[in-house]
Structure 1
């Protein structure tokens, strides 16, 4: 089938006997064109199937009313919630969204950042890949005064907007919760330490141990490359095979925590009586696994909304793209059965 010719402003001008500039201004609802003429032009344009060429407009104006999103993996609930928050805010303001993922690979992040830059996005929202240490690939945006908002996983040194949570306090509270439940030998699944989120959660965990005069044992700190399910399984087996296995576990994400629950149960370990576990993020899987996983809430949707608003504020207020501004949100402990050791022991005694 032969492709139908695209209707242009020049086609509309011939049909309506107006100049192309008048057609253009009317389609953009310019005040210099009367309401009657504007309405007439919009109707004929719709009838003829005219579509505005947003790409051509972005090339002329050097901006596209499009926000780019670059996250690690779009299939993770946390990333999906960030994207949802961005889209909700962006679309209300008449902006479109382009989504890309790095799959936690640095090279993918560099390539995707270049593609988004070439698409002339009005702003970029980024959660860094697990591998990213060098952030030079984002300088091209700053050089063109295109705002960048780093969300959750943020670089240590890069002047930009940042939307984060208080990871240190969250890590401290998660470990303190296990201590309050009677745990005295607490393990930790730590992610890549060059990333702020995992580094600060680990620091909070260690400080909670020290302030409660508990041992900080190197064998109980397990660094996972991806914080994935299989890694969590292997790490849990290693911990349970120690001469003195842990009686508590704080995992820096829910995926590894769920794998720990399933692996421990498979080995006949009672949760939480023998091993109390708490994760991080409050992913949907946390409330589905048995026993339900205690976790730390992560306001991902709110983070996405705030990130998008920073882009919109930059566009309207002409703020500098290299502004260093931090928005920090709080979290809360969500206690479920996997760590509620005191309650579980009471129920056992009552039987």
Structure 2
């Protein structure tokens, strides 16, 4: 049996007022007094009225949802960013749709198309490791949907970005290893086309140069930065009898792989090899030895990115200049580097 849904006309009739006043009150219009709003809201609740958000959104041709595209939700850094996004969006009256690219360009493209088809109000994006061209973001421009890149961004003009100071993070990590007496420092990098890994590498190079340590291209080993990559790379280095006493890793996962392999074969950390990671995943504190790492403010990044996106959603003029917000990192010293 189908129940009759309560409409604004039913509420208007029961209060003996105009239905347009009811509509305005439910939309929190300043043209209705607070006293009248309270009376209408109380009546709406008691009658079991439910707003049809979809119909309201269709009329406005946009929803009050924000799409979030991240590589992996399982990474602590991204889950802490999402916390910041959700809290800020919720307080501003937006719901959040979270999608994972799982580091695949094809999947990222499909997600963007789906979000556009679902008329999201805006999109927050951290690009996949496979993303080397940015054509699929043009659909957002053509549909007038604002978007903000966070953490992993594209070096293309007129974008809004909220990023980490990856250069300083890379510099601090390498400088720390040098200060502990390391002379042959390797860098386990991510895919070379991504800005964040380019900048971490630049920081590494600058720290070497400032300490008069020769930079060698063969000391840069790129991978997808999974734990397994750390094990495989370190095994090959040991098999090839490469001489090194320090490793700066572009994330914690690959660092943990290296630590596990060196532990297995009895290489002492940090006495023989000192290691620094990047991103301060919770596991970095519980592995043996605990991992020195670069902490990045994920929660705060989520807040800033969402605030910037909402500012652009609410901008009717379309004249806001593009903005890049850079957030600072800090080094957390643990046992993997405490010589």
Shift of 1:81: 1.2
CA displacement 1:6-51 (0-9 Å, x = unmatched)? 4433444555555543331222233444555433332232123222
> Which of 293, 300, 303 is the aligned partner of 1:302?
300
Tell me the secondary structure at the aligned position of residue 261 of structure 2: helix
C-alpha separation in 1, matches of 2:295 and 2:8: 51
The worse-fitting range, judged by mean Cα deviation, of 84-93 and 47-56 is 47-56
CA displacement 1:52-89 (0-9 Å, x = unmatched)? 12222222123323222111111111111111111121
Structure 1: stretches of 5+ with no match in the other structure: 342-351
C-alpha separation in 2, matches of 1:160 and 1:4: 49
CA displacement 1:136-186 (0-9 Å, x = unmatched)? 222222233322110111111142211112211211221111111111111
Structure 2: stretches of 5+ with no match in the other structure: none
C-alpha separation in 2, matches of 1:209 and 1:307: 33
Match of 1:263 in 2: 261
- 1:3–1:195: structure 2 CA closer, same or farther, 3 Å change rule? farther
Tell me the secondary structure at the aligned position of residue 54 of structure 2: helix
Match of 1:78 in 2: 77
Tell me the secondary structure at the aligned position of residue 68 of structure 1: strand
Aligned residues: 339
Tell me the secondary structure at the aligned position of residue 155 of structure 1: coil
Shift of 1:187: 1.1
- 1:3–1:110: structure 2 CA closer, same or farther, 3 Å change rule? farther
Aligned residue runs from structure 1 range 139-154, under 5 A: 139-154=138-153
- 1:173–1:32: structure 2 CA closer, same or farther, 3 Å change rule? closer
Please report the TM-score for the alignment, with normalisation by the length of structure 2: 0.93
C-alpha separation in 2, matches of 1:188 and 1:319: 46
- 1:40–1:178: structure 2 CA closer, same or farther, 3 Å change rule? same
Tell me the secondary structure at the aligned position of residue 86 of structure 1: helix
Match of 1:109 in 2: 108
C-alpha separation in 1, matches of 2:252 and 2:83: 20
Match of 2:86 in 1: 87
CA contact (8 A) 2:187 2:221 kept: yes
- 1:182–1:31: structure 2 CA closer, same or farther, 3 Å change rule? closer
Tell me the secondary structure at the aligned position of residue 109 of structure 1: helix
CA contact (8 A) 2:312 2:320 kept: no
- RMSD between superposed Cα atoms in Å: 2.1
Match of 1:188 in 2: 187
> Which of 324, 327, 333 is the aligned partner of 2:325?
327
